[in-house]
Amino acid sequence: MNRSLAVAALLAFVPLTARAAPCPGNADALGTERVLTIDAKTTPRVGRKEFPVTLPLGKKELVLTFDDGPWPTTTPKVLDALKAECVLATFFLIGRNVEAHPDIARRELAEGHSLGHHTYSHALLSRITQAKAQAEIDRGIAEDEFALYDKRRSAPTTPFFRFPGFASNAALLDWLNGRGIVVFGADVWASDWLAMTPEQELRLILARIERVGSGIVLLHDTKKETARMLPAFLRELKRRGYRIVHVVPAADGANSR
């Protein structure tokens, strides 16, 4: 059977819009509505804050993403909130933080989240040489892979990457694309790098989501205000009829698990 026939046969048995299984202990959970598979060949970069296109999402569909962790005082609270609502998200990891807190990164993996990469030390890559930028990216991936899969390698199991500060350039975008790595921007964010209360952050992100209607949401699991507002945020998304989409890499990724 050729590849497209095999995919068609698979799709016949796994409807992509299938509802998730019930959420243990929470009959009214927000849940994860569906899984969206992403391939760098057809979807090299996404997120309208930075690029002209975003993911193929329907009305009121959101992809939740968290950057800069793992962080011991906040990430476990974020994971608890997601678990309570059976919501799957994508974490963009900082290699240095994974090195310090590999147990938290492994918990993210064990709980079914997608784990993308965000450099080793959060360097702004457009401000350093191409060689140094590539080394930052590769070292980050290698530390993440080592903590998660016991292999220190620069080919990522989940080929998703986000530039710190969205500081990309054409040469690095081409280099990542050539390696089959999808670059994530965002469609909406909470500005949670600014000082505000959890209540202010909640109002701000909900108002911005209402404006864009659907898309990739950028939050930081290193921020205590974000961790504190997350349970109320997820409840409010449910009340307002939003649905969560979980993004995963195409099945033929670089490394088999």
Per CB under 5 A, 67 contacts Zn ion? yes
Q: Pick from 64, 63, 94, 96: which is nearest to 78 by CA?
A: 64
From residue 113 to residue 152, the character string flagging contacts with Zn ion as x (rule: CB under 5 A) and all else as - is: ----------------------------------------
The tokens describing 32, both together, are: 């994860």
- Please identify, using beta-carbon distances, which residue of 31 and 95 lies nearer to Zn ion: 95
123: number of Cβ within 10 Å: 20
Burial of 126 (C-beta count, 10 Å sphere; 0-12/13-18/19+) = middle
Dihedral sign computed on CA atoms, order 173, 176, 177, 182? negative
* Binding residues among 164-203 for Zn ion as defined by CB under 5 A: 164
Per CB under 5 A, 221 contacts Zn ion? no
Near Zn ion by CB under 5 A, which window of 43-51, 72-80, 159-167, 195-203? 159-167
CA distance 125 to 106: 27
CB of 67 to Zn ion, least distance (A): 4
Near Zn ion by CB under 5 A, which window of 63-71, 95-103, 201-209, 233-241? 63-71
- Please identify, using beta-carbon distances, which residue of 33 and 68 lies nearer to Zn ion: 68
The tokens describing 144, both together, are: 């993440």
Nearest residue relative to Zn ion (C-beta): 67
Given 68, 136, 143, 225, the residue binding Zn ion (CB under 5 A): 68
221: Cβ contacts below 8 Å, ≥ 6 apart: 66, 67, 68, 69, 70, 71, 74, 75, 78, 91, 227
How many residues bind Zn ion, per CB under 5 A?
A: 3
> Dihedral angle at the C-alpha atoms of 64, 65, 69, 71, nearest 10 degrees?
-10
Near Zn ion by CB under 5 A, which window of 30-38, 60-68, 101-109, 208-216? 60-68
CB of 26 to Zn ion, least distance (A): 30
Binding stretches for Zn ion (CB under 5 A): 67-68, 164
